[in-house]
Amino acid sequence: MSERPTTSEATTLEDDTVLAIEDFCVDYGWGDAAVRAVNHVNLSVRRSRVLGVAGESGSGKSTLVYAATRLLRPPGVISGGHVSLTFDDPTSSDAKRRTVDLLAATPSELRAIRWSQVSIVLQSALNALNPVLRIGHEFDEVLSTHRPGMKKAQRRERAAELLSLVGLNADRLARFPHELSGGQRQRVMIALALALDPQLVIMDEPTTALDVVTQREIVNELAQLRARFGFSMIFITHDLSLLVELADDIAVMYAGNVVEWAPANDLYGAPRHPYTLGLLNSSPPLSGERRELVGIAGSPPDLSQPIAGCSFHDRCPFAFEKCSSQAPELRVLDDSGRKVACWLHDSPADVPVALRRRPRDATRVGAQTPSNAEGVV
């Protein structure tokens, strides 16, 4: 078995993985009071692809991504696993890629990587933008900090160019955040995240506070930006139907575990986990006839208490005896690489019809990357 790359090791990798999360665990609190929020998660993001992470509030999706990028603050504690980031090395003349162990990286190494290689768009642009600074100041600060060689005029030109990428006029640089609409503020955040051409952009529910029309416009724009610049993306949301329009692959999280992973169209057209089915039934369909929405009964479990068996069994309409005593593991289900953690699939003949449908195409927006047909994590 090859050794894990160290922080400073440069390699020429054939693999196109950008972010690799392995056996990753995150707790809140310490010792006996620790609450496991992310439980032995394995996920990866490949070059130019979009990984969607879906689940209700408290499922662990934001904790997973913030901890993996070392942005989680105490009492959040990384309690196990490995996370590595691989990117084209800007200091290399022969197109080498560099792999960094994010959990071992020093503060100065993290500073060099953040924004340049990994950037983030937060849920509330109004909270993320400084209310007493003009928009232009935000761009100027990022560019002068990370590109000290840039002159003021060049920074101004770059800021205007970034705004035009997200459909905003350069005159917005002179405005304060409160002078922009919610959609314009979120576009500013996206433009800021792209300022240094990062290879991975993390979107943490970037459209949650917006109306559905603006949500769709921004998702469209993100799809086009991704196709144009080729960055990879992690898109976190509770809205599965929104994800299906943008993501190549989707991981569904529940109670800190990934309970289903699949290519986006497969998951949307034919969910295999009862929780995924519940999420889809509670979202409006993208196309076809209108149907009545059905919520998922009950609430997510209290993670501070021990959970016996499958963490979804209290809410699952298909639960049977084994579910309340033994926890299913995430296992590969079929040739597409789809993974599901559910005992139902141990006996294919007994799988309910609702979890046996054949995958079909969903309506999607934006261009697909050539690698989209390749498949799986």
The contact set with ligand SF4 (CB under 6 A) reads 274, 310, 312-313, 316, 318-319, 323, 328, 342-344
CA 342 to chain centre: 23
CB of 314 to ligand SF4, least distance (A): 8
CB of 237 to ligand SF4, least distance (A): 21
Give the residue with the Cβ less far from ligand SF4, 24 or 312: 312
CB of 338 to ligand SF4, least distance (A): 15
Give the residue with the Cβ less far from ligand SF4, 223 or 316: 316
Give the residue with the Cβ less far from ligand SF4, 61 or 345: 345
CB of 52 to ligand SF4, least distance (A): 20
Supply 330's token pair: 């995430």
Measured distance CA(234)–CA(243) in Å, rounded:
10
Work out whether strand 200-204 and strand 249-254 pair parallel, antiparallel, or are unpaired: unpaired
Q: What is the CB neighbour count within 10 angstroms for residue 322?
A: 14
CB of 340 to ligand SF4, least distance (A): 8
- Give Rg (Cα) of the chain: 21
CB of 323 to ligand SF4, least distance (A): 3
Give the residue with the Cβ less far from ligand SF4, 247 or 323: 323
Give the residue with the Cβ less far from ligand SF4, 188 or 341: 341
CB of 244 to ligand SF4, least distance (A): 21
Calculate the CA dihedral of residues 158, 161, 166, 172 and round it to 10 degrees.
80
Measured distance CA(273)–CA(313) in Å, rounded:
12
Name the residue type at position 298: G
Measured distance CA(135)–CA(221) in Å, rounded:
20
CB of 32 to ligand SF4, least distance (A): 27
DSSP summary character for residue 205: S
Give the residue with the Cβ less far from ligand SF4, 36 or 313: 313
DSSP summary character for residue 356: -
CB of 360 to ligand SF4, least distance (A): 23
3-class SS at 144?
A: helix
CA 191 to chain centre: 18
Give the residue with the Cβ less far from ligand SF4, 284 or 352: 352
- Taking CA atoms, 167 is separated from 85, 172, 179, 209, 218, in Å, by 31, 11, 17, 19, 10
Supply 162's token pair: 């970034």
* Residue 217 phi, psi dihedral angles, 5° rounding: -60, -45
Calculate the CA dihedral of residues 133, 136, 137, 142 and round it to 10 degrees.
130
Return the H-helix or E-strand segment holding 60: none
Give the residue with the Cβ less far from ligand SF4, 45 or 316: 316
Give the residue with the Cβ less far from ligand SF4, 142 or 255: 255
CB of 330 to ligand SF4, least distance (A): 11
Contact 28, 66 (CB under 8 A): no
Buried b (16+ CB within 10 A) or exposed e, 216-237: ebbbebbbebbeeeebbbbbbb
Give the residue with the Cβ less far from ligand SF4, 75 or 352: 352
